[in-house]
Chains A and B, each alone.
Chain A
Amino acid sequence: MTPLSYILTAQAAEVAQAAPEVIDRIPSGYNHFVIPFCIGIAFFLIWITVGCIRLLLKIPHHDRLRFWASLVNPVTALKNIRDLFFDCLFHVKIWKRKPLLGYMHSAIAFGWFMLIVLGHIEVALFVPKRLGISKTALFYPIFYRFFVWMNPGHTTLRGWVFFFLMDFFLLYVLTGISLAVFKRFRSLALGMKHTTKPSFADRVALYSLWLIFPLRLLAESFTADLSGGSFLTIPVNHLWHFIFGDKLWIMPSWWLYSICLGLFFAAMPFSRYMHILTEVLWILLRNAGIKPNHPRKGVAEAEIYACSSCGLCLDACPMNVQKKNLKYSSVYFIRFLRRHNEKKINEIADKCLMCDKCHALCPVGVDAPALRRAQRATVNNSICFDYSYLDSASAAVEQGWTSPGPDCRPAEGEDSTPEVMYFAGCMSHLTPRIIKSVEKVFKAAGVSYVFADEGGGICCGRPLMLAGRNEAAAKTIAANKKMIEGSGCKTLVLSCPICFKVFKEEYHLEGIKVLHYTQFFNELIASGRLKPVMGQERLVYHDPCELGRGCNVYYEPRAALSQLGTLVKASKEYDESLCCGGSLGSLTLDARDRAKISEAAVISLVANKPDKIVTACPLCLKTFSESVANSSYPVDPVRVVDFAEAISESL
């Protein structure tokens, strides 16, 4: 009889029939030792069901509909399945950066997943009546090896395959567990300089998790000669016989195994391991495009519990060049969010540089900087402001250009709309060599442009957003939008990445191409309008946080710079590049801490001895210039130049 018919007939007739390979030795299918496990898992299942329902109810109605829709939409459904496998089970994101750490996490995750899945398939094949809607379904597959014995003389290939697979995955998980234990003592060997400090509930769950699999090995190998096993459990079984002789340890070992499992599941909702299931929900919500607008309620709750406290954000955060700043890392922010510790939440939220590196490196994609901004908004968004002057300001601007110089107005008779509108932004006015170089490059390439905020303008609005003052930001955005759309220009070029990000993402400018000057100049070089001369100098490029991680612009600046000289690598680049420390994002970081962050970034940039550091952001330019000039740390003479400056010098 085929396995499928077993399941069908067994459920229909409830006849005590098992597959020929096994003897279902206990008629009730129950033993008292399963109680601890049952208590633990029942508590856990109730907790997550209630939690899940509560969470979904807190999501706004229209977002909920979007969520249900995304589950049936084939595109997002496929993405969901892919993310669930790649992020939750295989931990591909960790593999890519730290292979051994990735192996450790995936061994435990994927290995345990396979043990559970294969275990249930085993029961479905061999003792199907114990599955389905029966009294034993909860615990029977977990303790399967206790409840069945091999039927002598009925060894089959499929039986052997299952024994082999179960032992294989058990060994796989055990290698992961041993790496996890090792990591507690020598975390650097797995690529982590700092590890998370576990809370009390974390420790309970952690130690019981560590014990689960060795105890499973112990228990299953005590019964291996009776219930079967393979290359792992059988030799261990022989070992026990050699040491202990008899089988009196079967019950205690299964009791211990059950207790450990029960303890783990009972502690799970209070520990970091909740992420095992929450990250599934979080990935589904995230792929549906639902964003948190509050740091604690609604979608954010899924995000917070999806964090596994893995601690990768500790090494990522640029502030952690100083150990005293470890407590401001994302992992602890999320821990305090769970505990509703308002004072700590605000303290951590205000400190963050918003460089987004923790978000980039997070294996589950938890966007902690966005949660921090949401937290800032709960306090700062209600601060009174009066931007009524903006209406008259932008109205005045709509009449014509804001005081451009005679050079940038097109000649009489020509189409009076310039090709490009250049918006320098607030910060560039304090770094005039950027403005001068940009204008020089425009002239050299024959670009007709208008300098929108030459006499000073309205802030782009992103600093307000970074501080959580979204209402105020909306007003400045509206005022600037009116001005830009009224100008008639088709291309908007920004020299500041902060401006670029907000103009690209929040302004929704109709029919206007928004470009960062690195992109625009790269286009000019590629089309031949700019002809830079190749030089002998070694250049290193620093990815500004807002341009690189913020907008995914990595390639164009480098393409342009490789036409000017030899581009060398920094020790950390692209989405791993170090924040310069000058970011507006932090509200409370003091100058001394920022100097240390800049120092670390400069040291990373000069790793391959460049002649020039090239930046594409006025804040980075100022910060690095001062860091190199003030340097109390040993650094070879290196010039810090702006991207436009580097190009204009090579013309």
Chain B
Amino acid sequence: MVDFGFGLVPSSRINLDLFDKERYEELASMEPDVRKCMSCGSCTAVCTAGKYSATSLREAIECIHNGQPDKALGMLKSCQFCGKCTMVCPRGINTRHLILSINKTYGEL
């Protein structure tokens, strides 16, 4: 087989097949409301840490759905846990608990 080298540069395309369903179900059992997120971006908009560094719960959830949990943890590592996102979420998601649950499910504690 000839290797034409098409795979040399890692694809910037999201591979949905990499989505870890089992881990996600684990997360959903801790915080069932994670399924409700409609990606409106209110959480990112009000984020206290977002002024200084890239912090976005919306993006973190998106990354988990897209099979990129490490990127998700990276988007949450600067979270100051202030609770503004919980105040504004229109779907009523307990975002602080969700951030903790994502860390417990996908992170190395």
Using a CB–CB cutoff of 8 Å, the interface residues on chain A facing chain B are: 350, 379-380, 382-387, 389-390, 392-393, 426-427, 429-430, 455-459, 463-464, 467, 469, 472, 476, 584, 587-588, 590-591, 622
A189 to chain B, nearest CB (A): 40
| A384 interface neighbour in B96, B97, B108, Cβ under 8 Å | B108
- C-alpha spacing A555/B94, complex, angstroms: 34
B4 within 8 Å of A (CB atoms)? no
Across-interface contacts of B39 in A (CB, < 8 A): none
In contact, B107 and A384 (Cβ under 8 angstroms)? yes
Question: Which 3 pairs, one residue from A and one from B, show the smallest C-beta to C-beta distance?
Answer: A459-B82, A426-B82, A459-B80
Give the one of B48, B104, B108 with max A CB within 10 A: B48
Task: Convert B22-49 into 0s and 1s, putting 1 for each residue whose CB lies closer than 8 angstroms to a CB of A.
Answer: 0000000000000000000000001011
- The minimal Cβ–Cβ distance linking A224 to chain B, given in whole angstroms, is 65
Contacts of B78 in A (CB 8 A): 385-387, 389
A383 proximity list for chain B (CB < 8 A): 100, 103-104, 107, 109
* Bound: A379/B105 CA distance, A: 12
Q: How far is the CA of A591 from the CA of B91 in the complex (A)?
A: 11
25 pairs, CB–CB < 8 Å, chain A vs chain B: A379-B104, A379-B109, A383-B107, A384-B108, A385-B79, A386-B77, A387-B78, A426-B48, A426-B82, A427-B84, A429-B46, A430-B87, A459-B48, A459-B80, A463-B81, A464-B81, A467-B100, A469-B81, A476-B80, A584-B86, A587-B96, A587-B100, A588-B97, A590-B94, A591-B92
**Contact residues of B between 33 and 86, Cβ < 8 Å to A:** 46, 48-49, 51-53, 73, 77-84, 86
Smallest CB–CB gap between A503 and chain B, Å?
Answer: 15
Contacting B87 at CB < 8 Å: which of A387, A390, A622? Answer: A622
Chain A residues with CB under 8 Å of B100's CB are 380, 383, 467, 587
| Cβ A456 vs Cβ B51 within 8 A | yes
For residue B109, give the distance in angstroms from its CB to the closest CB of chain A.
Answer: 5
Number of interface residues of B (CB under 8 A): 28
Contacts of B83 in A (CB 8 A): 426-427, 463, 584
* Contact among B53, B73, B87 for A389, CB-based, below 8 A: B53
- The residue on A at minimum CB distance from B76 is A385
Would you call A384 and B77 a contact (CB within 8 A)? yes
Neighbouring B residues of A587 by C-beta, 8 Å: 94, 96-97, 100
- Distance of A11 Cα from B92 Cα, bound (Å): 76
List 10 extra interface pairs beyond A387-B80, A463-B83, CB under 8 A. A379-B109, A383-B100, A386-B78, A389-B78, A430-B46, A430-B87, A467-B96, A472-B80, A584-B86, A587-B96
Among residues of A, the one whose C-beta sits closest to the C-beta of B53 is A389
Contacts of A379 in B (CB 8 A): 104, 109
Query: What distance in Å separates the Cβ of A355 from its nearest Cβ neighbour in chain B?
Result: 16
Distance (whole angstroms) from the CB of B92 to the closest CB of chain A = 5
Contact of A463 among B52, B82, B94 (CB under 8 A): B82
Give bound CA distance, A590 to B93, whole Å: 9
A463–B88 alpha-carbon span in the complex (Å): 17
Instruction: Determine the chain B residues whose CB is within 8 A of the CB of A456 once the complex forms.
Output: 48, 51
Residue in chain B with minimal CB distance to A385: B77
Among the interface residues B73, B78, B100, which one has the most CB atoms of the partner chain A within 10 A? B100
A336 to nearest B CB, angstroms? 19
Task: Give complex CA distance A587, B94 in Å.
Answer: 8
* Pairwise interchain contact B104-A458, C-beta atoms closer than 8 A: no
Residues of chain A lying within 8 A (CB to CB) of residue B108? 384
User: A426 contacts which of B84, B92, B107 (Cβ < 8 Å)?
Assistant: B84
C-alpha gap A455/B50 in the complex (Å):
12
Are A472 and B87 in touch, CB under 8 angstroms? no
> Once bound together, how far apart are the Cα atoms of A476 and B49, in whole Å?
11
* A469 to B46 alpha-carbon distance, docked (Å): 21
B92 CB contacts on chain A under 8 angstroms: 590-591
Identify the closest chain B residue to A382 (Cβ).
B109
Question: Which one of B83, B88, B92 has the highest number of Cβ atoms from chain A below 10 Å of its Cβ?
Answer: B83
* Chain A residue at smallest Cβ distance from B32: A590
- Taken together as a complex, chains A and B put the C-alpha atoms of A459 and B78 apart, in Å, by 12
Knowing A383-B104, A385-B79, the reply to whether A393 touches B88 (Cβ < 8 A) is no
Q: Which of B49, B73, B77, B87 contacts A427 (CB 8 A)?
A: B87
B73: chain A residues at CB < 8 Å are: 384
Greatest chain B CB density within 10 A among A383, A463, A469 is at A383
Per the bound structure, the CA–CA distance linking A379 and B48 in Å amounts to 24
Q: With A and B bound together, what is the CA distance between A383 and B77 in angstroms?
A: 9
Chain B hits for A350, CB < 8 A: 97
The distance from the CB of A544 to the nearest CB of chain B, in whole angstroms, is 15
* Other-chain contact of B84, A393, A429, A469 (Cβ < 8 Å): A429
- CA–CA, A383 and B92, complex, Å: 24
Tell whether, in the assembled complex, residue B48 and residue A393 are in contact, meaning their CB atoms are under 8 Å apart: no
**B97 contacts which chain A residues (CB < 8 A)?**
350, 587-588
Contact B84 A430 (CB under 8 A): yes
Chain B nearest CB, measured from A626 CB (Å): 11
Identity of the chain B residue whose Cβ is nearest the Cβ of A463 in the assembled complex: B81
Instruction: For residue B99, give the distance in angstroms from its CB to the closest CB of chain A.
Output: 9
Q: Once the chains are docked, how many angstroms separate the CA of A586 from the CA of B67? A: 30
B88 in contact with A430 (CB, 8 Å): yes
A424 CB → nearest B CB, Å: 12
Most buried by A among B51, B52, B103: B52
What is the CB-to-nearest-CB distance from B44 to chain A, in angstroms, rounded to a whole number?
13
Q: Given the complex, which residues of B lie within 8 Å of A393, measured CB to CB?
A: 52
Asked whether, in the complex, the Cβ of B81 is within 8 Å of the Cβ of A459, the reply is yes
Residues of A within 8 A of B96 (CB): 463, 467, 584, 587
What chain A residues lie within 8 Å of B51 (beta carbons)?
455-456
A384→B82 CA distance, assembly (Å): 17
For residue A290, give the distance in angstroms from its CB to the closest CB of chain B. Answer: 28
Bound CA–CA A303/B43 (angstroms) = 40
Most chain A CB within 10 A, of B51, B77, B81, is at: B81
Closest CB in chain A relative to B49 CB, distance in Å: 8
Set B46, B81, B84, B104: member contacting A472, Cβ < 8 A: B81
How many angstroms from the CA of A457 to the CA of B84 in the assembled complex?
A: 12
Taken together as a complex, chains A and B put the C-alpha atoms of A464 and B78 apart, in Å, by: 12
Report yes or no: B87 in contact with A458, Cβ–Cβ below 8 A: no
